[in-house]
Structure 1
Amino acid sequence: MKLLVITQKYNINDSNLGAFVGWWEKLAERMEKVYVLALEKRSEPIRSNIEVISMGKEKGAGFFGKFFGFYRGLLKTIGKADAILVHMIPKYVILTVPIALIFRKPIYMWYTGVAAQKQLKFSVLFCRKVFTAHDAAMRVNTPKRVVMGHGIDVSKFSIFNFQFPISEITILSVGRITPSKGHDLIIKAVADLIKSGYKLRLKIIGDVVQSHHYKYFEFLKTSANNLGIEKQIEFCGSVRHDEMPNYFKDAQVLINAVPFGGLDKVVLEAMASGIVPLTSNNAFLSVFPKDIASQFVFKENNLEDLKNKLKNILDKKLYLDETLANQLRDIVVKNHNIDNLINRIINEMSQ
């Protein structure tokens, strides 16, 4: 089978989309050829049967340049491919449809998000199937939706060692610097617990992606200073995805203060690494073990509930519970590992 993937970025070093380069490599292991049409190309594929075509963003292409780059790349590859897989961007489905109809190529889409926008609903009309990680991650009610879990490389994200003594608990908050990631709420919660006597360190991993969020970044730093915990907070900036296992290795808790919706893969990566997750995305209530799930989900934008749930984790030293760590990891290995996901995608496209 030959597949055309249409995506935003091909960059193994990207802190967010770098993980998906591994997806395309896994697909290429099981296919004759994988063409990747990317808005931006900043790294080269390691497999000879992957061909990456850029729309030109990394070369400074403007709107029309990227538009023509899209159709130039599409026309170059669509005749050679058996199917098209659009990754995350409904607009790419809509742009692809006229050419796909002419060439009679089926369109599939992978989508995880927090809202059912009009563009998503419209794009679904033209897809043969829409793959997603969870019901809440693709909220268009359609028989085309196929829920198949996420794709975590469980060989890279693995449990480290519980035997080392811990004098200070390291908490991670991972995500681009934007209000929707709730970094400010986490800073307040950690500050309150430090004042109560807990020995904590917070590492915020993520960078400013949109220029108007620099004000929010300055607000976060000012908040840390005003709360008197600037020495206990580290702004790590953007971290390559393949370096994230090193951060999980040295951490005990991950806090994910995002709204209900798509399963954030960083929570699953933390689970695979033996890190205790704490999230405000209550879609994870159906992911965590049922008997303890409520301990790891706090009410959205609720500081007191976040602090209470975090105190419970710290007071019970759940980060030292090897049984819990293995239980959480097993969920990811069984339901969200990349090999199973790739096999399911290929099987669904072969039907």
Structure 2
Amino acid sequence: MRILLINFEMNEDSGVLAWQAHVAYSLAQKSEFVLVLTEKPGRYEKLSNMEVEVVPKRPYGIPRKLGSRWLFALNVALLCRRHRIDACFIHMNYTWSYVLYPVFKLLGIPVLTWYAHGRVSNALRATLFCSSRVVTSTPEGFRIRSPKVRVIGQGINTSLFKPSVEEKAGKHDLIYVGRVSRRKRIELLISVMQLLTADPHTSRIKLKIIGPLLTGDDIIYERELRSQITRFALQDKIEFYGSVPSDKIPLFYASVFLHLNVSKTGSMDKTVLESLACGCPVLTSNEAFFDFFKQYPDFIITNDQPAAIAEQVIAHYNRKGTYPAGALRKFVEGKNDLYSYTDKILTNLSEIMAP
């Protein structure tokens, strides 16, 4: 199969989207050829059967807001013809599904789009119309009902995210991993830390915050968080690490007793699964995991008041080390790992290619 893969970023050092490069590698290993169309190149491995084309920031010198992406469709059509593309997989960068719809329709190229987020917009409705099929992580990850939609789980690189040989004993720290943005409700974690610090039994607990700032509002939000930390006198209890390359994150998971995730994205956050793959327990309020953790109800936040979350954190602190890393890793292996994910992508591509 000869695949056009459209994504946001091809960069193993990306603080958020490094997995897009790993998905490209995995698809290339199982396909005849992969042409990657990306908007942000960085460090990536050059494979013999994979080519990477970069979308200019200003195609033809025209700002994108003036419609230059639509003009760029001609370039994509020529690339598809030159490389004899059989099918297209759009990984997250879903608006290309309707921008390139005339090209795909003209060339008879079926389109598979990945979307895993709780938000529904007119752009998403257009994506559903223009895609041959949509794949998502959980039913909550794509909230428009359609026979086109398939649930396939997530794609965690379990070769990278695995229990560390440098496992730290006597853990007293918590961790948050993900973008620093308002949707992640990090201010709630700071309020939880205020309560934990006031309790002599848990006063040693510290919080590590790992994640990039991607927008101007993220920068403002981080300033607000730092002000909250100062107001609560928690400067020596909470540390921001900024963007950390994905290959360094497993060491952080090895140094903590619990990963906290209180986002309300409505989709299956990859960081929760990456934590589990590393053998680190989690505590999440994300509704996409409610059914997922039916056998582990203590991993779910049912009351998102700071005092209630603090009680759950203390319960985990008291029984830290009781969750076998192998048992946690089973949540990911064979169901939500990169290898089964790309197999499912290829299966869906084959099905939409069928006459």
Cα displacement (A) at 1:48 = 1.7
Structure 1 residue 18: deviation in Å? 1.1
**Partner AA of 2:93 in structure 1:** I
Tell me how far 1:282 sits from its aligned partner: 2.0
Q: Which amino acid aligns with 1:263?
A: M
Ranges of 4+ aligned residues in structure 1 off by more than 4 Å: 58-61, 161-164
Residue-by-residue CA offset, 1:138-192 (whole Å, 9 max, x unaligned):
11111111111110111211123697531x5121111222111111110110221
Unaligned runs of 5+ in 2: none
| Aligned ranges 1:318-337 → 2 under 5 Å | 320-323=321-324, 325-337=325-337
Partners of 1:298 and 1:306 within 8 A in 2: yes
1:268 equivalent to 2:273? Answer yes
Of the three residues 205, 214, 220, the one matched with 1:215 is 220
Does the Cα contact within 8 Å between 2:112 and 2:348 map onto a contact in 1? no
- Match of 2:153, SS? coil
Q: How does 1:100-119 map to 2 (within 5 A)?
A: 100-119=104-123
Q: Which position in structure 2 is the counterpart of 1:174?
A: 177
Q: Is residue 4–residue 84 contact of structure 1 (8 Å, CA) maintained in 2?
A: yes
Per the TM alignment, residue 118 of structure 1 is displaced from its structure 2 partner at its CA by 1.8
Find the partner of 1:145 among 133, 144, 149.
149
Cα deviation per residue 1:308-348 (whole Å; 9 max; x = unaligned)?
Answer: 2212211222xx0143x322211111310111111111112
Q: What CA RMSD, in Å, does the superposition of the two structures yield over aligned residues?
A: 2.1
Question: 1:49 and 1:147, CA in 2 relative to 1: closer, same or farther beyond 3 A?
Answer: same
Indicate how the Cα distance of structure 1 residues 309 and 161 shifts in structure 2: closer, same or farther if over 3 A, else same. Answer: farther
Please show how residues 331-346 of structure 1 align to structure 2 within 5 Å.
Answer: 331-346=331-346
Offset, 1:243: 1.8
Q: Which has the higher contact order (CA 8 A, sep 6+)?
A: 2
Which aligned pairs between 1:31-50 and structure 2 lie closer than 5 A?
A: 31-50=31-50
Whole-angstrom CA distance in 2 between matches of 1:48 and 1:238: 30
> What is the letter of the counterpart of residue 34 of structure 1?
V
Whichever residue aligns with residue 206 of structure 1, its letter is: G
Shift in Å, 1:72: 4.8
**Contact conserved, 2:281 with 2:323, CA < 8 A, in 1?**
no
- Measured in 2, the distance between the counterparts of 1:231 and 1:216 equals 20
**Greater CA deviation, 152-161 or 2-11?**
152-161
Contact 1:173 1:202 in 2 (8 A): yes
Counterparts in 2 of 1:236 and 1:146: CA distance versus 1, 3 Å: same
The 3-state SS of whatever aligns with 1:90 is coil
Alignment partners' CA distance in 1, 2:303 and 2:296? 18
Give yes or no for contact 2:168–2:255 (8 Å, CA) kept in 1. no
Calculate percent identity across the aligned residue pairs. 25
Whole-angstrom distance in 1 between the partners of 2:163 and 2:318: 22
1:90 maps to: 94
Deviations 1:53-100 (A, max 9, x none): 111239998425962674254123222210011112331101011111
8 A contact 2:87–2:110 mirrored in 1: yes
1:216: how far off?
1.4
The separation in 2 between residues aligned to 1:313 and 1:162, in whole angstroms, is 21
Matched to 1:235, the amino acid is: F
Q: Distance in 1 between matches of 2:168 and 2:181?
A: 34
What is the CA–CA distance in structure 2 between the aligned matches of 1:201 and 1:72, rounded to whole Å? 53
CA distances 1:263-301 after superposition (whole Å, capped 9, x unpaired): 01000000111111111102212222x2322x1111475
- Separation in structure 2 between the aligned mates of residue 6 and residue 214 of structure 1, nearest angstrom: 28
Taking structure 1 as reference, are residues 162 and 55 closer, same or farther at Cα in structure 2, changes over 3 Å only?
A: closer
Deviates further, 40-49 or 107-116:
40-49
Indicate conservation of the 8 Å contact 2:192/2:309, yes or no. Answer: yes
Q: Taking structure 1 as reference, are residues 128 and 221 closer, same or farther at Cα in structure 2, changes over 3 Å only?
A: same
Residues 184, 58 of structure 1: alpha-carbon distance in 2 compared, 3 angstrom cutoff:
farther
Residues 68/11 of structure 1: CA separation in 2 closer, same or farther (3 Å cut): farther
Shift of 1:257: 1.2
Specify which of 62, 67, 76 is matched with residue 69 of structure 2: 67
Aligned match of 1:189? 192
Aligned mates of 2:292, 2:72 — CA distance in 1:
37
Cα distance in 2 for partners of 1:45, 1:76 equals 25
Distance (whole Å) between structure 2 residues aligned to residue 133 and residue 183 of structure 1: 24
Alignment pair present for 1:285 and 2:285: no
Q: In the alignment, residue 276 of structure 1 is paired with which amino acid?
A: P
Instruction: Tell me: CA distance 1:309–1:31, structure 2 relative to 1, closer, same or farther (3 Å).
Output: same
